[in-house]
């Protein structure tokens, strides 16, 4: 069976939203309003041979506060291999059905606990954005799902190094190299409840990447992961993306853990 699973449908679910958008994942559904707005529209996913192997269901929208909304999902694995990776994109629509807010990809990973064949895995993603009171619906576009054989395991980071080397991942480090030919075409910058900005100016994108590359990352801070913070999301010319997230200024979030930012420059 081909490892890469390809999406064969796009969900368009219209519902009134009072809240906002962002890119922060949170699996603590018990913290949400128990009511929510039902959606319950499934998306069937197929493997490279055309076999249906998984279903993604957007179940409910939860309006929590001004500029904030959470979406509850369920990923149902009815294939023969464990799933570890899901990428999708959320687009918000105005009352005329036009897209007016479309941040980069959303990513949900199950590396430490893959979704096994026959299992249904629930998760929640929170979103923030300005002007949420005008949103009249959402479109979900799953980008890909992958099985355990296709996604390499996480490597332990290397504290004490600048961010590219700290990651201990050549693919991640490559994003900071050869920016003349490898510069993202778009950057989404989000600061919890303060700023949401999509940037296409190459000079500003380059400056942000160079600043990130100058950060020296320390040891595990042993602080809890929250659903707020500072997000840098980059979109490449081929549509792929990568991101860096901070729980707070000076506190990097990396694969479910937080690390102190020791210094800038070096």
- Phi, psi dihedral angles at 72 (to 5 degrees): -95, 130
* Predicted local distance difference test score (pLDDT) of residue 94: 73
In CATH terms, 4-147 corresponds, of 1.20.140.10, 2.60.40.3230, 3.50.50.60, 3.40.50.300, to: 2.60.40.3230
Could you read off the pLDDT of 53-98 as tens digits, one per residue? 888 888 877 765 566 667 788 999 998 889 888 877 777 777 787 8
The whole-number average pLDDT for the span 198-214 is 95
Contact 68, 100 (CB under 8 A): no
Residues 6+ apart with CB under 8 A from 116: 77, 82
Q: How confident is the model at residue 2 (pLDDT cuts 50, 70, 90)?
A: very low
Contact 231, 24 (CB under 8 A): yes
Could you read off the pLDDT of 141-173 as tens digits, one per residue? 776 777 777 766 778 899 999 999 999 999 999
Which range, 11-20, 112-121, 125-134, has the best average confidence (pLDDT)? 112-121
Starting at the earlier edge strand, list the strands of the sheet with 257-264. Answer: 195-199, 186-191, 230-235, 241-248, 251-254, 257-264, 215-220
Identify the residue with better confidence: 183 or 140. Answer: 183
Beta-strand runs (E) in 48-177: 52-65, 68-77, 83-93, 99-101, 106-109, 120-128, 137-147
Q: Alpha-carbon distance 241 to 234, whole Å?
A: 5
SS3 state at 179 = helix
Contact 245, 231 (CB under 8 A): yes
* Predicted local distance difference test score (pLDDT) of residue 177: 95
Percentage of the chain beyond pLDDT 90 is 26
Q: Alpha-carbon distance 85 to 108, whole Å?
A: 6
Neighbours of 114 (CB within 10 A): 19
Going from the C-alpha of 87 to that of each of 84, 91, 134, 227, 241, the distances in angstroms are 11, 14, 26, 19, 10
* Predicted local distance difference test score (pLDDT) of residue 29: 37
* Predicted local distance difference test score (pLDDT) of residue 208: 96
* Predicted local distance difference test score (pLDDT) of residue 20: 26
Which pair of structure tokens corresponds to residue 156?
């332990």
* Predicted local distance difference test score (pLDDT) of residue 135: 62
Rg value, the chain, Cα: 18
SS3 state at 174 = helix
Which pair of structure tokens corresponds to residue 14?
């219209």
Per domain, the residue ranges of the chain are 4-147, 163-264
* Predicted local distance difference test score (pLDDT) of residue 33: 42
């Amino acid at each position: 069976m081909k490892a890469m699973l390809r999406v064969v449908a796009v969900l368009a679910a219209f519902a009134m939203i009072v809240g906002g958008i962002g890119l922060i994942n949170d699996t603590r559904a018990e913290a949400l309003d128990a009511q929510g707005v039902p959606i319950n529209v499934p998306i069937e996913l197929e493997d490279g041979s055309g076999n249906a192997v998984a279903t993604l269901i957007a179940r409910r929208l939860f309006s929590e506060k001004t500029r904030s909304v959470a979406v509850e999902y369920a990923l149902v694995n009815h294939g023969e291999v464990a799933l570890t990776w899901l990428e999708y994109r959320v687009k918000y629509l105005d009352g005329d059905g036009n897209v007016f807010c479309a941040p980069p990809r959303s990513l949900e990973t199950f590396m430490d606990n893959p979704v096994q064949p026959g299992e249904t895995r629930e998760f929640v993603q929170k979103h923030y954005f300005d002007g949420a009171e005008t949103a009249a619906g959402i479109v979900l576009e799953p980008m890909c799902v992958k099985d355990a054989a296709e996604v390499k395991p996480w490597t332990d980071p290397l504290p004490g190094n600048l961010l590219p080397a700290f990651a201990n991942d050549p693919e991640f480090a490559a994003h900071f190299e050869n920016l003349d030919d490898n510069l993202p075409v778009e950057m989404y910058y989000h600061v919890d409840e303060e700023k949401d900005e999509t940037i296409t100016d190459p000079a500003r994108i380059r400056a942000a990447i160079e600043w990130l590359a100058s950060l020296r990352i320390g040891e595990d801070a042993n602080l809890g992961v929250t659903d707020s913070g500072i997000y840098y999301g980059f979109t490449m010319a081929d549509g792929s993306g990568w991101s860096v997230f901070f729980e707070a200024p000076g506190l990097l979030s990396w694969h479910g853990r937080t690390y102190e930012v020791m210094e800038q420059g070096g």
